[in-house]
Amino acid sequence: MQLSENNTYQIQGISPSELIETYGSPLYVYDGGTIRRKVAELQEAFSSVNMKIKYACKANTNLSILRLMREIGVELDVVSPGEFEMGRLAGYDAGQITFTPSGVPFHEVKEAVEAGALVNVDSIPLLEWFGKTYGSTKPCLIRIKPNVAAGGNAKIMTAHADSKFGISVLLIEQILEVVNRYGIKVIGLHQHTGSDIKDAEPFIQVADILFETAKRFPDLQIVDLGGGFKVSYKPGDEITDMHLLGTKISERFKKFCAEYGRELQLWFEPGKFLVSESGYLLTTTTVVKEDPARNFVHVDTGLNHLIRPMMYGSYHHILNTSNPGGTEKTYNVVGYICETDTFASDRTLSEVRPGDILVMLNAGAYGYTMSSHYNARFRPAEVLVDHGSAKLIRRRESLKDLLGTQDGL
Q: Which residues are annotated as a binding site for pyridoxal 5'-phosphate?
A: 228, 366
322 counts as binding ligand LLP under rule CB under 6 A: no
Q: What is the rounded CA–CA span in Å between residue 156 and residue 312?
A: 9
Query: What are the start-end ranges of the H helices in 291-365?
Result: 308-312
Contact region for ligand LLP (CB under 6 A) — 1-9, 221-229, 288-296, 354-362? 221-229
User: Could you tell me the smallest distance in angstroms from the CB atom of residue 314 to ligand LLP?
Assistant: 7
Q: What is the rounded CA–CA span in Å between residue 107 and residue 331?
A: 50
| Binding string, residues 273-292; x marks residues near ligand LLP by CB under 6 A | x-------------------
233 counts as binding ligand LLP under rule CB under 6 A: no
192 counts as binding ligand LLP under rule CB under 6 A: yes
**Catalytic residue flag (residue 338):** yes
List CB contacts of 239: < 8 A, sequence separation 6 or more: 198, 229, 230, 231, 232
271 counts as binding ligand LLP under rule CB under 6 A: yes
Which parts of 24-53 interact with ligand LLP (CB under 6 A)? Answer: none
Binding-site residues for substrate, in ranges, read: 308, 312, 339, 366
Phi, psi (rounded to 5 degrees) for 303: -65, -15
Sign of CA dihedral 106, 111, 113, 119: negative
Count the residues of the shown chain that bind ligand LLP, applying the rule CB under 6 A: 21
Q: What is the rounded CA–CA span in Å between residue 44 and residue 225?
A: 17
Parallel, antiparallel, or unpaired: how do β-strands 9-10 and 328-334 relate? unpaired
56 counts as binding ligand LLP under rule CB under 6 A: yes
User: Could you tell me the smallest distance in angstroms from the CB atom of residue 228 to ligand LLP?
Assistant: 4
Q: What is the rounded CA–CA span in Å between residue 187 and residue 204?
A: 22
User: Could you tell me the smallest distance in angstroms from the CB atom of residue 104 to ligand LLP?
Assistant: 13
Give the C-alpha distances (Å, rounded to integers) separating 210 from 123, 147, 192, 207, 385. Answer: 17, 11, 11, 5, 39
End-to-end CA distance of the chain: 43
Q: What is the rounded CA–CA span in Å between residue 165 and residue 190?
A: 11
User: Could you tell me the smallest distance in angstroms from the CB atom of residue 79 to ligand LLP?
Assistant: 7
349 has which bridge partners? 329
Contact region for ligand LLP (CB under 6 A) — 19-27, 129-137, 264-272, 318-326? 264-272
Q: Which is nearer to ligand LLP, 269 or 341 (by Cβ)?
A: 269
Q: Which is nearer to ligand LLP, 271 or 302 (by Cβ)?
A: 271
User: Could you tell me the smallest distance in angstroms from the CB atom of residue 233 to ligand LLP?
Assistant: 9
Which parts of 338-377 interact with ligand LLP (CB under 6 A)? Answer: 365-366
Q: Give me the residues that bind ligand LLP (CB under 6 A), please.
A: 56, 59, 77, 100, 156, 158, 192, 195, 226-229, 269-273, 308, 312, 365-366
